[in-house]
Amino acid sequence: MAALHADRTGALAAGPVLVTDGAPAPRTGVAGRSGLTHVADSGDAHGTHFGRVPYQDPGRPERMRQFVVIGHEVSTDPADISLSDLPGAGRLDLLCRCVATGVFLSHGIREAVRVHLVVADEFTITSDSDTLRHLHPDERNVAARVRDALDATADAIGHMPADVSPGVELRRMGLEATLDRLLDGGGSGAAADPTLVHLHEDGDPLVDAAPPTDPVFVLSDHRDFTDREKSLLAERAERRVRVGPELLHADHTVSVVHNWLDTDGYESY
Ligand SMILES: C[S@@+](CC[C@H](N)C(=O)[O-])C[C@H]1O[C@@H](n2cnc3c(N)ncnc32)[C@H](O)[C@@H]1O
């Protein structure tokens, strides 16, 4: 994956979180060694040194990776979300790690990844790696976006999204409507040929089939899939797969899936 490695330069260390709203978007995600100046200098355009990192080789068809993560216990009331107690907010810490793992690399942000958090089967918050701005990978920063999104529920009318902030949208859609929207193409710029993949610890081994072109992976949070969710997925998913023999946290599962896709099914390093 030549293109993947091309931008993996520069050294950053995890440091204090610097929220730079109003400043050029911090493409590095975490604060660099030289602090705010370094972050602000990182720019937000494609092709900058710390810019978005395509995962496909030049010449291969454009592909999109999507992850749907089902949050069973997160309240839809933003007042219930304390940034000081994310685990107490329905394991929002875990869900935010799924978002961060989905869109961020160590020194950049991936191209063509969308993470959809389904909240209480009522709302879906989508983070689009191609248009995200001012987002850092730490959980509190991502959680602040989730809280902002839930603050905008009144603006989500019908299935029209509320624009929360660049790259973040909220739709008044539970799991079923979200899956159907994604399988239907999911709006402009979305996957042309989506394949729904149910990630489950009892599924078939991931490596038994080649990576799909436009995969949509569905995961649960710390809770098991409900019977209704299982039946929605059984009706729609082309595959039900496990990434390995152990039960993993959802965010770790996202990481394994990325690695599988980054390596073309463990074929290319
Ligand atoms: C911590 S698990 C969910 C809870 C678990 N079902 C239980 O029995 O408590 C989080 C999610 O990550 C995904 N996951 C975890 N381990 C996996 C594996 N080995 N293969 C595929 N998906 C996995 C599944 O979507 C799972 O629902």
* Atom nearest to 225 CA in ligand 1: 27
Between the CA of residue 146 and those of 31, 47, 233, 261, what are the distances in Å? Answer: 21, 28, 25, 27
> Would you state the CATH architecture of domain 61-262?
3-Layer(aba) Sandwich (3.40)
Ligand 1 centroid from CA 267, angstroms: 25
Q: What pLDDT score does 225 carry?
A: 98
Contact (CB, 8 A) for 237 and 196: yes
Q: Find residue 67's DSSP bridge partners.
A: 115, 217
* pLDDT per position as a tens digit, 61-108: 448 999 999 999 999 999 999 999 999 999 999 999 999 999 999 989
Q: What pLDDT score does 136 carry?
A: 92
Predicted model pTM: 0.81
Ligand 1 centroid from CA 88, angstroms: 20
Among 68, 239, 242, 248, name the best residue to mutate to test ligand 1's pocket (greatest count of ligand atoms within 8 A of Cβ).
248
Ligand 1 centroid from CA 37, angstroms: 40
Ligand 1 centroid from CA 115, angstroms: 17
* pLDDT per position as a tens digit, 176-210: 999 999 998 775 566 677 999 999 999 999 999 89
Q: From CA 65, how far away is CA 110, in angstroms rounded?
A: 10
Scanning 46-197, the segments in alpha helix (DSSP H) are: 92-103, 139-150, 175-183
| Ligand 1 site, residue 201, Cβ cutoff 6 A | yes
* pLDDT per position as a tens digit, 19-50: 333 333 333 322 222 222 222 223 342 333 34
